[in-house]
Chain A
Amino acid sequence: MPHIRDIMQTMDYGPAPEDSSEVLHWLDGHSGGIGHFIDGTFLAPSGPLADVYSPADARVIARLGHAGAAEVDAAVEAARAAQAGWAALSGHDRARYLYAIARHVQKRERFLAVLETMDNGKTIRETRDIDVPLVARHFYHHAGWAELLEDSFPGHVPHGVCGQVIPWNFPLLMLAWKVAPALAAGNTVVLKPADLTPLAAQAFAEICVEIGLPPGVLNIVQGDGATGALVTGHPGVDKVAFTGSTEVGRTIRRQTAGSGKALTLELGGKSPFIVCEDADLDAAVEGVVDAVWFNQGEVCCAGSRILVQEGVAEEFFDRLRARMATLRVGDPLDKTMDVGAVVSAGQLARISELLAHGQAEGAVLHSAGGDLPADGYFCSPGFFTGTGPGDTVNREEIFGPVATTMTFRTPDEAVQLANDTRYGLAATVWSQDIDRAIGIAAGVKSGVVWINATNLFDAGAPFGGMRESGFGREGGRAGMAAYLVPPSSGPGQPRPAPAPAPVAAPFGGAQDGPGIDATAKLYVGGRQVRADSGQSFTVTDANGTAIGQAALGNRKDIRNAVEAASKATGWGGVTAHNRAQVLYFLAENLAQRRAGFEALLARNCTPDLAVAEVDAAIRRCFWYAAQADKRAGVVQATAARHVTLSLNEPWGVVGVVCPDEAPLLALLSLVLPALAMGNRVVAVPSQSQPLVAALLYQVLETSDIPAGVLNLVTGPRAALARTLAEHDEVACLWYCGSADDAARIEAWSAGNLKPTWTDGGRLRDWADPAQGQGNAFLDRATQVKTVWIPYGD
């Protein structure tokens, strides 16, 4: 040990190890292996055990059993058996359990922090100051939701059994994000932790026993991806929630397609970190520390793509290099470390490979350097300069402590570069100019935006991605909604088998008498256009009499319609009042032409029903016009002196595939909420009653709906729907069809991970406002963007 006299000259920090004896004692107690927690009982692991490593020194600290089908079955059965009783408890009673969990997490905070650090490799500073406090906060917040459930979500019911699969980067925090809302809502849970980091879940289960959580309410099965697939694919699971890579998310989307399971996915990201010339550069440099040098860069929302305004780029990089040199990398249990160990040898190899790839592509890697511990999986923090937008390191998640950098010239270009990615999880903006900062925040496609801060989290602030970063939110009201079934989506009858796809063959049956031939076209980009196929198909009425010809749309027509819709960006930018005016005007024009609609509809129903359908359609226009300017979002109570906004943003281009029945009312019931919230729509009208589209587009033309905002493509529903489902520009798809079709749609949507709404292939009574309109439609017409704005000078 150096003499005090010498330390007074060197002013070194010296070692400051956190005491790990409690955790070592606990690990001794589990030396027989970590098993599963099913129906309130800890099951000894069976079969071969896998080693669990401490990333800081590459030592085996535990051994893990992997659950097979028998264990997963037992866990799902236990969850199923417990669910009715758990849901039957009052919200207050569930709140008491969640409150007890929150308190016990606080009482075990030091133990949990040390355990998490030893299991994951992240620094004790982070587990102690960030992970564990956020876990407690999450259970407190959701104890609140449990208490208020009946008041805040009237008529909602839990999904039932939730299958949840969580990643290794925040083992305990991701557990909390999954378990707290599920239990608050009255669901029971089968949770599968990551096999690299299984210990926090075991310790958490012990807390649940301690507080007397009823058996079966929370079940934990340990194992790797194979166990995870057993959970997400289990027929007894009603809702799947996954946090992890986009590739596995895609697999789960395909696996659960057609199962009727609700699904939320929190996936990868390549989040932009925008530094404007008027930023507080030192603050932004610290932001990088909190973004990509936080948690060894193993953060799905890490600001890993740094975009700097060209004029300050060199200065920013200089400051970044200087700051990087003061980072301390080493034993994560030492309280003076900034960066710990990455989670595994495999992850370290993957990071190293990507770094080498980046250099091979011509980028310059600036590395903090310094000695790294000889044992353990350590990676020196750093950043790349000289990367191009197409470089692998700018497209792929590195998931390590290394950022890429690029420069931009103007705020517009910053937004363009920021959005030049498949992902859309988070974005960070540094600027002292409020107009500029909020302008960029509005322009970026991401579920979270931090202004002059980064990686801020709170249980009350919805977190989740856009695009291929997944769908669904965790935290706040939006997060609770993901664990509840809204009242309007009660079960209807299964839809009948689809009608045969229309064909262009000449029709030999009865025809209406001769009149002036009417030409039903497609409506694309604000114009009536012929189908690309150059063909039409015969439309018959309920008696089988031919009543006209409809344009036979094909995939190219869908392509053109999506193109037109994607260009109609102005619609989301106009005021909500403008959109409301247009929808009111639509109602007005519909009323003026109601006779034509009534006559056409009456070919397939009684005249009274036809009148009622037009009435309902007009009322629906009014209802959504009324809603257009009333759902912008809310302010969340998070950190002091921060305004945290949850904005309801439109998706962009929404695909709508209409059912056969109620051709006018169903079409408008689906299209209007999407339009009211600022989306552009490509709709496939009723396949068997498509002529209503031709009447409708004449109304649209007189109603000031801008070109491309609503596009109508008639034709074979299944084929057109497939094109929509597979189209990467379509951000969201609503499909009314049979269960079989719905399953295929869900699987096809996995390409860009667009959320789908298929209603499980069940019928709705469109005339009933409880089923045919409401908040459920509006909620699905938007995605939440959470914007954090600190203030104070």
Chain B
Amino acid sequence: MIPDFPRMTGTPFTPADFDAVRVNRTAAERRAASLTARRSVKKEWQAAWLLRAVTCIDLTTLAGDDTPGRVARLCAKARAPLRPDLLDALGLEPMTVGAVCVYPTMVPHAVRALEGSGVPVASVATGFPAGLTPLPLRLEEIRYAVGEGAAEIDIVITREHVLTGRWSALYDEIAAMRAVCGAAHMKAILATGDLKTLSNVYRASMVAMQAGADFIKTSTGKENVNATLPVSLTMLRALRDFQARTGQKVGFKPAGGLKTAKDALAWLILMKEELGTRHMMPDLFRIGASSLLGDIERQIEHHVTGRYSAANRHALA
């Protein structure tokens, strides 16, 4: 998808935009809980929303045992996430997922496997998942991934800077990463499960956007707590505040823990209610997931046939 807005540039470091912010956890949890109870999508609308979710998935494998073969299989699924007969039944053209997300050394394999598909390759970088390698090495890792053809870079932040309140250090680090990314879009993973408080989440989100992150992303998938609705709500509110101040558009990517079609709908509802329909498209919304797609496929088949489906009727990712 070609963005209809200029790429965000970030702003100078502006602590006044987040210093005083305090997020009330209980209220955020209440909003998150009632949000999904206040909205519901059924029938055609549900199918359409789930298909929209498919186009937003960053189909991901980030495991120590990844191999070129494994990545190739994932990429095949990314090219054709849904069975053609289901698409035919729904009267839809073929579609793809949003991107494939892999470790840097898997980037060349993924690029090769996705050639001609239009599906970008996203690479994690900067010492993923802990981010505790020296900064020059982390920057070099970005250069490597971009050089191998990654169009999107998912960086991790230094949690220490958040936990000790060194916001300018955090800003400088992320800004340096953005500079190295060049044309590749940068997603800043905040590892919110490590940041603990929602006020930290808000502040880290704001610093990442000021430093030029194209997307802010919840989790590596490796923390004890991954994407949750209250955390996502907090990040979206920071995002909305940033957009209102600067006019720059920023994307959002929840990752880790979104496993069911119901989860996908919940996050889409959250996007629509807090940011609006425009932020439900893959240039501004991604879902980092691996098993989610399988559940959506079965739901779509149920929509088409009226019968409950089984996993073995859909191609393995």
Contact = CB atoms under 8 A, between A and B. Distances in A.
A710 B91 CA distance: 85
Contact of A8 (B22, B24, B52): B52
Scoring A280, A453, A642, A792 by chain B CB atoms within 10 A of each residue's CB, the highest score goes to: A280
B48 interface: yes
Interface residues of A, number: 37
A13 B277 CA distance: 11
Contact of B41 (A16, A641, A642): A16
Scoring B30, B43, B199, B268 by chain A CB atoms within 10 A of each residue's CB, the highest score goes to: B30
Given A11-B48, A11-B277, A336-B38, 18 more contacts: A3-B91, A4-B51, A4-B91, A5-B92, A7-B45, A11-B52, A14-B43, A14-B44, A125-B38, A280-B22, A280-B23, A280-B24, A286-B30, A432-B24, A453-B30, A791-B26, A792-B26, A793-B198
B45 A641 contact: no
A436 interface: no
A283 B39 contact: no
A18 B5 CA distance: 40
A200 B52 CA distance: 41
B20 interface: yes
A641 B26 CA distance: 8
A572 B28 CA distance: 36
- Tell me the dominant secondary structure on chain A's binding face: loop
Contacts, number: 95
Interface in A8-43: 8, 10-16
A335 interface: yes
A16 B280 contact: no
Scoring B28, B41, B198 by chain A CB atoms within 10 A of each residue's CB, the highest score goes to: B41
7 contacts: A11-B272, A11-B277, A280-B24, A290-B34, A336-B39, A432-B22, A790-B27
Contacts of A15: 42
A453 B27 contact: yes
B39 A286 contact: no
Contacts of A4: 44, 47-48, 51, 90-92
4 smallest CB-CB distances across A and B, nearest first, come from A14-B45, A283-B27, A7-B48, A790-B26
A447 interface: no
A493 interface: no
A1 B41 contact: no
Contacts of B197: 793
B236 to A, nearest CB: 10
Nearest to B92: A5
Nearest to A287: B27
B273 interface: yes
Contact of A793 (B25, B43, B268): B25
B37 interface: yes
Contacts of A641: 26
A129 interface: yes
A13 B45 contact: yes
Given A125-B38, A280-B22, A8 B272 contact: no
Contacts of A14: 41-45
Interface of A: 1-5, 7-8, 10-16, 125, 129, 278-280, 282-283, 286-287, 290, 326, 335-336, 338, 432, 452-453, 641-642, 790-793
Given A283-B28, A286-B30, A432-B24, A336 B40 contact: yes
Interface string B269-307: 000110001001000000000000000000000000000
A452 B44 contact: no
B262 interface: no
Contacts of B48: 4-5, 7-8, 11
B18 interface: no
Contacts of A326: 273
Nearest to A283: B27
A290 B272 CA distance: 19
B49 interface: yes
Contact of A453 (B20, B26, B199): B26
Nearest to A7: B48
Given A11-B49, A278-B20, A326-B273, A335 B26 contact: no
A286 B272 contact: no
Contacts of A283: 23-24, 27-28, 31
Nearest to A2: B44
Interface string B223-245: 00000000000000100000000
Contacts of A13: 39-41, 45
A512 to B, nearest CB: 71
A790 B31 CA distance: 14
Contacts of B23: 280, 283
B20 to A, nearest CB: 7
A3 B45 CA distance: 9
Contacts of A791: 26
A754 B273 CA distance: 46
A793 B199 contact: yes
Contacts of B30: 286, 290, 453
Given A3-B91, A8-B52, A11-B272, A452 B27 contact: yes
Nearest to A642: B26
B37 A125 contact: yes
A792 B24 CA distance: 8
Scoring B25, B27, B42, B49 by chain A CB atoms within 10 A of each residue's CB, the highest score goes to: B27
